[in-house]
Structure 1
Amino acid sequence: MSRSVFITGGNRGIGLAIAEAMAANGDRVAVTYRSGEPPAGVLGVKCDITDPEQVEAAFRQIEEAHGPVEVLVANAGITRDTLLMRMSEDDFSDVIGTNLTAAYRLAKRATRGMLRARKGRMIFIGSTVGLRGEAGQANYAAAKAGLVGFSRSIARELGSRGITANVVTPGLTETDMTAVLPQEIKDSMIKQIPAGRAAQSEEIAAAVRFLASDEASYITGAVIPVDGGAGMGH
């Protein structure tokens, strides 16, 4: 059956691939974006997820168009990479605010409809960096690691109501963000990946689509790595 799916940051990269995969599945898909244009065939909602009022307005718009959100994919995120000694208060708080605090805000609001329906899927896009750490990304790693504890707490709170919460942790993925990296840096990163290559956004989307499906109804509190083996053991 067609479901109401809400994806943050769904107009490019991994978020866009997830939106396209869910729409191809027949779902009613809404995505947030801050700049550019939303993809065709989905409901685009301009929203800054760090602003509680804009998040509330986004949910109301989606609920009016598609009904209560049944699948939430918290994908939007930012980086402010720098070494710890050079990291400003804003570098740290902005990344935590967008990547972790906003996920709390979205999940809390989505819970209303999911509890009434006694079913729901929450999927948080984490990162291998949140499991193994990375020099120059202490803020990003902290935020992504936080998603694991957050989702597992949701799984324990809401599991009996038919609501699942899981984290997908991509590794190096071919996106606009990674396209600007110098080739020598990408080559160095790929050498650390057992699969010997970066992921495609569609491969991340496939894992999300599965976790959102009925087949994954007994999977909750899980961390699903889609990283070519880069984070194994973590």
Structure 2
Amino acid sequence: MSSTSAERPADVERPSRQPLAGQTCLVTGASRGIGRGIACELGRHGATIIVNYRSSEAAAHEVADAITDADTEGTARPIQADVTDPSEVDAMREAVRETVGPIDVLVTNAGITSDRTFADMTREDWHRVLDVSLHGTFNCTKAFYDDLETADDGRLIAISSVVGKQGNVGQANYAAAKSGLFGFTRSLALELAGSGATANCVAPGFTRTEMVEAIPDGIQDDLRDDIPLERFATVNEIAGLVRYLAGERSGYITGEVIDINGGIDL
């Protein structure tokens, strides 16, 4: 019998379906940037995606249409909610349950910047950034905690930043919010472990998004000089890591802060 016709061992058989088929994933702040890339990547691998957005309705519908119209098993629905408002998050939870049922994967990606050196930073600057990145993660996790705990493969994935580890001039608020996600995720990993659900944190370095593209070229050059790989990450690279963490094969990874930053910490 030829090797091509021999029966394949189970560990090298082709999967019979998309690896995330049957999974429902909610991605906050999914209308653009890294969130958009994550939503499209999870949808590309067969998941049902909830595309959360605050105000970018047209962009969120574009993301959902792109996922649904692609030649995959993935589908998507845009749902509006300001993650800083618990009542809106609770309304999103009810809308999700009415349309697709409980979720399996929560990706808390929504975040903003309001950069000023600390001497000039206002309380409003401070609270706005923490409200979205840190308090928004609390609000969404609180609303969907029962779903994650009872899912067959519950996954909480918080999107942080290298700035949460290193700090950055003019970003004391952003660094505090993003580093706060480390302790939050590790604590949730311990509390969810009994159910078999996992919680992990992804800490990207500088990534080619509209935010980074808006940085003056000279400063971009200086940033690249500090990165051993001498380039910024692509959105697809970040999304690929999240897709792995969302899948069945990541089930023994929990409580981790996973850097994806081109070696900037080396």
TM-score relative to the length of structure 2: 0.85
Runs of 4 or more off by more than 4 Å in structure 1? none
Displacement of 1:118 in angstroms is 5.6
- The runs of 5 or more residues in structure 2 that have no matched partner are 1-20, 69-75
Which residue in the other structure is 2:27 paired with? 7
Structure whose CA Rg is larger: 2
Q: In the TM superposition, what is the alpha-carbon distance from 1:78 to its structure 2 partner?
A: 0.4
Structure 1 unaligned residues grouped into runs of 5+: none
| Structure 2 match to 1:34 | 54
Aligned to 2:72: none
TM-superposed CA distance for 1:61, in Å, is 1.1
Question: Which residue does 1:196 correspond to in 2?
Answer: 230
Q: Does 1:162 align with 2:182?
A: no
Q: Does 1:120 align with 2:149?
A: no
Contact 1:119 1:161 in 2 (8 A): no
**Once the two structures are superposed, what CA deviation does each residue of 1:61-99 show, in whole Å capped at 9, x if it has no partner?**
112222101100000100011100100001001111111
1:187 aligned to which of 193, 218, 221: 221
Question: Could you say which structure has the greater relative contact order, defined with CA pairs below 8 angstroms and 6 or more residues apart?
Answer: 1
Q: CA RMSD in A?
A: 1.1
Contact 1:131 1:231 in 2 (8 A): no
- Structure 2 residue 44 is the aligned partner of structure 1 residue 20: no
Identity %: 41
For residues 35 and 56 of structure 1, what CA distance do their matches in structure 2 show? 17
SS state at 2:183 partner: helix
Are the aligned partners of 1:95 and 1:140 in contact in 2 as well (CA < 8 Å)? Answer: yes
Instruction: Note if contact 2:103-2:151 (Cα within 8 Å) is conserved in structure 1.
Output: no
User: Shift of residue 120 of structure 1?
Assistant: 0.6
Whichever residue aligns with residue 17 of structure 1, its letter is: G
2-side partners of 1:73 and 1:45: how far apart?
Answer: 14
Kept in 1, the 8 Å contact 2:150–2:195? The answer is no
Question: Normalization by structure 1: what TM-score?
Answer: 0.96
1:129 corresponding residue in structure 2? 163
Instruction: State the aligned residue count.
Output: 232
